[in-house]
Structure 1
Amino acid sequence: MGVRKRERAEQIKEANKSIAFAKLNNCPTSPRKMRLVADLVRGQKVENALNILKFNTKEASGRLEKLLLSAIANWQAKNADANIEEAELFVKEIRVDGGAMLKRLRPAPQGRAHRIRKRSNHVTIVLGSNNNTQSN
């Protein structure tokens, strides 16, 4: 690895240490369905986002709620002395990327076969704070 590439990688690692985030990899839901729910909570305050996810009927909302609670726990681990209400946490970034795809064959008439693609996704939630009480 080159020097510039290594230095840039170290800068990114240091920046990730100061923010609170959580990742969910290989979630067996299509990215399109997950993005419908993710768009509802993007930019919302954490309390409001938890309420939206709790009372949403889609299956993806349960998984995102659990991921958001994990991101909040990660924030609390980094800022042990800070209070969630005073910090005014909000969902700074939520990203849904396509994951691995299982490919299957389904029999079709006249000796043919149709390909079935079982999609999965990766979700990343980044929390931000309006009051900059995060310690570096």
Structure 2
Amino acid sequence: MQVRALARGVRMSPQKARLVVDAIRGRAAVEALAFLDTSPKAASEVVAKILRSALANAANNFSLNTDGMVVVSATADKGPTLPRRFRPRARGQAGVIEKKTTHITVVVSNDIEPTRRGYKRKPA
């Protein structure tokens, strides 16, 4: 059974959050939490909190055993941008400095085996 948890409007760039989310996709939940706890990225704290929430949803709402859970999918989608201030540009123009937000979703399941994480070789 698949169980999900999500956080909407996280004040973080989606590009930076995707680096962390891509690293945990397909891993066992325990292994993903160990990775997130040791990762120096700022997004790892938020993603770890969402993953713990998904495991708690599985245990409390559906009475599932969380030992064999696997991160089936994890996404970091673009949220609304908040225009904050202006930066002067060339020829009297102004550029907007935007604060980006992210919607992060983590789905865990106990029906799927974890995948072996390896590095793909780039063609020469």
What is the one-letter code of the residue matched to 2:70?
Answer: F
Kindly provide the CA deviation profile for residues 63-84 of structure 1, in whole angstroms up to 9, marking residues without a partner as x: 000010000000001332x432
Give a deviation string over 1:5-36, Cα, whole Å, max 9, x none.
xxxxxxxxxxxxx6311010000111000000
CA-to-aligned-CA distance 1:80-112 (integer Å, 9 cap, x gap): 2x4322xx1000011111001011312457643
Q: Give the length in aligned residue pairs.
A: 111
Q: Match of 2:75?
A: 95
Q: Structure 2: 5+ residue runs without aligned partners?
A: 113-124
1:123 pairs with one of 104, 112, 116:
104
Give the alignment's TM-score, normalised by structure 1. 0.74
Distance, in Å, in 1 between the alignment partners of 2:28 and 2:53 is 15
- Verify: 1:84 aligned to 2:66, yes or no: yes
Which structure is higher in helix share?
1
Counterpart residue identity of residue 89, structure 1: M
TM-score normalised by the chain length of structure 2 = 0.81
Aligned partners of 2:53, 2:61: CA distance in 1, in Å? Answer: 13
5+ residue gaps, structure 1, are: 1-17, 132-136
Instruction: Give the CA deviation at 1:118.
Output: 1.3
Matched-pair identity in %: 33
Give the corresponding residue for 1:63. 46
Does residue 86 of structure 2 align to residue 105 of structure 1?
yes
Partner in structure 2 of residue 46 of structure 1: 29
Secondary structure at the counterpart of residue 58 of structure 1: coil
Paired residues of 2:2 and 2:110 also in contact (CA < 8 A) = no
Q: Please give the root-mean-square deviation of Cα atoms over the aligned residues, in Å.
A: 1.8
Residue 118 of structure 2: aligned partner: none
The AA in structure 1 aligned to 2:19 is L
